[in-house]
């Protein structure tokens, strides 16, 4: 009986994703066909997604740039900040840490009003930076939190030993501390990339020029290449295309991500 | 135990010589820019939100922008649509968190056992979490829930079920999508906890004749506590903010049946153009999330303590 329950849960988790792939691979004239295994397989839906009139490749490029730059900046800023918080003692440190972590709980939608006003005033509407800056503010708290716990676990003697051996504090950080913190940084980078790649509300409200849209917004407004029909097949193909990068990313580095997450977060 | 504490003792800081103020600042300065940048980036938008929430600002009245004190908060709290959104958010978040945690624990228990093809199954089970939420919403809306072509009705048709899921059970439809997306997340966290369990203790319980359920509830569950707590906390914080699924599947409807707080704020700001009230609602949501998250964590902790 428990096995039956678990089997049902597994089915619940896997069927929708399988169906997405199966619908993508069906030729358009069979798209409402409910046979469990597609009768015939064709790449037509995938080709339709990349039809130049849809502009989907531009959206993909936008998403890659925005998510990539966000990840890089988050790592640089987050690592130095986390190191500062882990190693420095100053009055009000707890409050600073609490304030930063509380930002994780700010729903993006509650910030969208001032952001939209601000970006309109400084002419940032329809730009990459108008997405990257808010994403930084969502990604940094988690990164800082993950990495602070990481740095705290490292004994202070590591740097002291390095400095006794003639390293400057900067060198001690780069050559001794950073290599040990790599798993944590790696996890933070993957999580940040996923967050930025999937973000929707800000990308939806700050950008209104189709050329600057990210894939999340492009997908939500996806009506497919052909008009006057339900473009199931093309929609699902678009879904598959945007999911593949993340699946690959996690497939390759699953072990490291979980190690970094639990080592930093739980202890 | 004694051996361990003996080995860590010398690692403790050997009482560092007190530094002078100048020395302290020399050490701190290179680290400060990052810190200040993070504080500015994370806190300033929220302060702006608070500022707007105190103003009578409506984009349809260009002359507006006067200071109105807490009037916006009064209006929002008295708004029946806001209260409806609060109820929907609580129902949505609580059901999704409970369901995905239970399902996640079950899957984690499955994956903790050895069987051929475990790696493949594990990877496949993570995929729902990786599907872009916007794409997932589209997938469920069209391929799963569609009244004529949807897989759900097709699979249930032998039992005489033929339902327009999104319009007849809107909240349930959203909960199903969110549970589907968040189960793998809970599973991953619980699995990490299961694998950090010491096999010796489990072996000892078996030797002592403990039944599977007793071992699970007395040993495994208390051990998993901090992992489940982390999952529930992170999960509820993110699920409260759900927007994509509602925007794409139900548009908050039918009527206001699935309007949660984020969607309510979106409507206030971009349909009614009432920036002041939208900002006030935003501040309320932030404060409430922080209070509830703190409270939820306490309750969960107490629950576990009573059990163990």
Q: Tell me which residue in B35, B227, B289 faces A84 most closely, judged by beta carbons.
A: B35
What pLDDT score was predicted for residue B91? 92
| Residue spans of beta strands (DSSP E) within chain B | 55-56, 66-67
Q: What is the pLDDT of residues B270-302, one digit of tens each?
A: 877 788 888 888 888 888 887 877 776 676 666
Which residues have C-beta within 8 Å of that of residue B65, sequence separation ≥ 6? B55, B56, B57
What pLDDT score was predicted for residue A2? 65
Q: Which residues on adjacent β-strands are paired with residue B274?
A: B58
Inter-chain residue contact B227 with A198, CB threshold 8 Å: no
Q: Is there a contact between B177 and B245 (Cβ–Cβ < 8 Å)?
A: yes
3-state percent helix, strand, coil for chain A, nearest multiple of 5: 75, 0, 25
Q: How many Å apart are CA A121 and CA A178, to the nearest integer?
A: 40
Q: Domains of chain A (ranges plus CATH)?
A: 1-42 (no CATH), 46-262 (1.10.3720.10)
What pLDDT score was predicted for residue A257? 65
What pLDDT score was predicted for residue A119? 86
Q: What is the pLDDT of residues A11-62, one digit of tens each?
A: 888 888 888 888 888 887 776 677 777 777 778 788 888 877 777 888 899 9
Per-residue pLDDT, averaged over A65-83, amounts to 90
Per-residue confidence band for A69, with pLDDT thresholds at 50, 70 and 90: very high
3-state percent helix, strand, coil for chain B, nearest multiple of 5: 75, 0, 20
Inter-chain residue contact A258 with B188, CB threshold 8 Å: yes
3-class SS at B274? strand
Q: What is the pLDDT of residues A170-229, one digit of tens each?
A: 787 777 777 777 878 888 888 899 889 988 888 888 888 888 889 888 888 776 444 545
User: What tokens does A146 get?
Assistant: 């993950």
Q: How many Å apart are CA B31 and CA B35, to the nearest integer?
A: 7
CA distances from B59 to A117, B219, B272, B280 (A): 11, 59, 9, 15
Q: How many Å apart are CA A56 and CA B135, to the nearest integer?
A: 14
Q: Which residues on chain A are in Cβ contact (under 8 Å) with B142?
A: 230, 232, 235-236
Inter-chain residue contact B31 with A134, CB threshold 8 Å: no
What pLDDT score was predicted for residue B307? 54
Please name the residues between 24 and 53 in chain A that touch chain B, using a CB distance below 8 Å: 32, 34
Q: What is the pLDDT of residues A123-147, one digit of tens each?
A: 888 888 889 988 888 888 888 888 8
Inter-chain residue contact B107 with A9, CB threshold 8 Å: yes
Q: How many Å apart are CA A105 and CA B238, to the nearest integer?
A: 8
Range of A241-255, B61-75, B168-182, B218-232 with top mean pLDDT: B168-182
What pLDDT score was predicted for residue B28? 65
Determine the distance from the C-alpha atom of residue B50 to the mean position of all C-alpha atoms in its chain, rounded to a whole number: 24
Across all residues in chain B, what is the average pLDDT? 80
3-class SS at A169? helix
Say if the ipTM goes beyond 0.95. no
Q: Is there a contact between B218 and B202 (Cβ–Cβ < 8 Å)?
A: no
Inter-chain residue contact A112 with B142, CB threshold 8 Å: no
Q: What is the pLDDT of residues B180-192, one digit of tens each?
A: 999 998 988 888 8
User: What tokens does A153 get?
Assistant: 């676990």
Q: What is the pLDDT of residues B5-62, one digit of tens each?
A: 444 444 444 555 566 667 666 666 666 777 777 777 777 878 888 888 888 777 666 6
- SS3 letters for A8-28? HHHHHHHHHHHHHHHHHHCCH
Inter-chain residue contact A216 with B132, CB threshold 8 Å: yes
| Residue spans of beta strands (DSSP E) within A120-221 | none
Say if A90 is an interface residue toward chain B (CB within 8 Å): yes
Distance from CA of B208 to the nearest CA of A (A): 24
Q: How many Å apart are CA B190 and CA A5, to the nearest integer?
A: 18
What pLDDT score was predicted for residue A79? 87
Residue B257 above 80 pLDDT?
Answer: yes
Whether pTM > 0.90 for this model: the answer is no
Say if A150 is an interface residue toward chain B (CB within 8 Å): no
Q: Which residues on chain B are in Cβ contact (under 8 Å) with A17?
A: 124, 127-128, 131
Mutation pick from B76, B93, B132 vs chain A, by most beta carbons of A within 10 Å, is B132
CA distances from B253 to A253, B6, B24 (A): 40, 63, 58
Most distant pair of Cα atoms in chain B: their distance = 80
Residue A254 above 70 pLDDT?
Answer: no
Q: Is there a contact between B219 and B202 (Cβ–Cβ < 8 Å)?
A: yes
- SS3 letters for A199-245? CCHHHHHHCCCHHHCCHHHHHHCCCCCCCCCCCHHHHHHHHHHHHHH
Across all residues in chain A, what is the average pLDDT? 80
Residue A68 above 90 pLDDT?
Answer: yes
What pLDDT score was predicted for residue B231? 85
Per-residue confidence band for A267, with pLDDT thresholds at 50, 70 and 90: very low
Q: Tell me which residue in B131, B226, B283 faces A266 most closely, judged by beta carbons.
A: B226
Q: Domains of chain B (ranges plus CATH)?
A: 91-260+288-307 (1.10.3720.10)
């Amino acid at each position: 009986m428990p096995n039956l329950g678990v089997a049902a849960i597994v089915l619940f988790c896997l069927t929708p994703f399988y169906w997405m792939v199966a619908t993508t691979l069906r030729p358009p004239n069979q798209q409402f066909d409910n046979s469990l295994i597609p009768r015939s397989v064709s790449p037509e839906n995938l080709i339709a997604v990349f039809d130049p009139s849809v502009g989907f490749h531009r959206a993909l490029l936008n998403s890659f740039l925005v998510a990539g730059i966000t990840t890089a900046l988050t790592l640089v800023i987050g690592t130095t900040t986390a190191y500062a918080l882990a190693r420095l003692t100053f009055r009000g440190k707890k409050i600073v840490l609490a304030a930063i972590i509380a930002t994780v709980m700010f729903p993006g939608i509650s910030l969208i009003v001032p952001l939209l006003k601000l970006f309109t005033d400084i002419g940032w509407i329809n730009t990459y930076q108008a997405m990257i800056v808010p994403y930084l503010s969502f990604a940094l708290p988690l990164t800082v939190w993950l990495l602070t716990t990481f740095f705290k676990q490292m004994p202070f003697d590591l740097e002291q030993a390095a400095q006794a051996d003639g390293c400057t504090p900067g060198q001690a950080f780069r050559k001794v501390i950073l290599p040990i913190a790599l798993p944590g940084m790696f996890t933070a980078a993957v999580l940040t990339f996923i967050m930025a790649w999937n973000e929707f509300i800000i990308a939806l409200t700050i950008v209104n020029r189709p050329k600057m849209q990210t894939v999340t917004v492009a997908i939500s407004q996806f009506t497919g290449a052909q008009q006057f029909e339900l473009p199931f097949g093309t929609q699902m193909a678009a879904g598959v295309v945007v999911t593949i990068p993340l699946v690959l990313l996690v497939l390759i580095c699953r072990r490291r991500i979980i190690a970094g997450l639990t080592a930093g977060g739980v202890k | 135990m004694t051996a361990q504490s003996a080995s860590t003792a010398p690692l403790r800081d050997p009482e560092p010589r007190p530094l002078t103020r100048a020395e302290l600042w020399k050490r701190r300065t290179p680290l400060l820019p990052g810190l200040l940048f993070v504080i500015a980036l994370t806190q300033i938008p929220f302060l702006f939100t608070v500022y707007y929430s105190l103003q009578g600002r409506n984009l349809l009245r260009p002359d507006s922008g006067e200071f109105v004190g807490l009037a916006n908060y009064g209006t929002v709290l008295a708004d029946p649509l806001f209260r409806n959104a609060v109820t929907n958010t609580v129902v949505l978040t609580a059901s999704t968190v409970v369901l995905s945690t239970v399902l996640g624990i079950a899957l984690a228990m499955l994956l903790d056992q050895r069987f051929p093809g475990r790696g493949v199954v594990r990877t496949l089970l993570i995929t729902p979490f990786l599907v872009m939420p916007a794409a997932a919403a589209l997938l469920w809306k069209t391929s799963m829930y569609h009244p004529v072509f949807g897989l759900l009705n097709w699979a249930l048709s032998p039992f005489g079920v033929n339902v327009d899921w999104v319009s007849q059970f809107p909240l349930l439809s959203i909960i199903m999508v969110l549970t589907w997306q968040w189960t793998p997340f809970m599973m991953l966290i619980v699995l990490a906890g299961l694998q950090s369990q010491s096999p010796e203790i489990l072996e000892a319980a078996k030797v002592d004749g403990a039944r599977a359920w007793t071992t699970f509830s007395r040993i495994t569950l208390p051990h998993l506590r901090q992992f489940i707590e982390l999952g529930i906390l992170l999960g509820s914080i993110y699920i409260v903010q759900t927007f994509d699924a509602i925007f794409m599947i139900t548009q908050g409807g039918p009527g206001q049946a699935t309007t949660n707080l984020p969607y309510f704020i979106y409507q206030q700001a971009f349909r009614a153009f009432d920036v002041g009230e939208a900002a006030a609602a935003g501040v309320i949501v932030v404060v409430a999330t922080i209070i509830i998250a703190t409270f939820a964590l306490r309750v969960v902790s107490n629950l576990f303590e009573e059990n163990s």
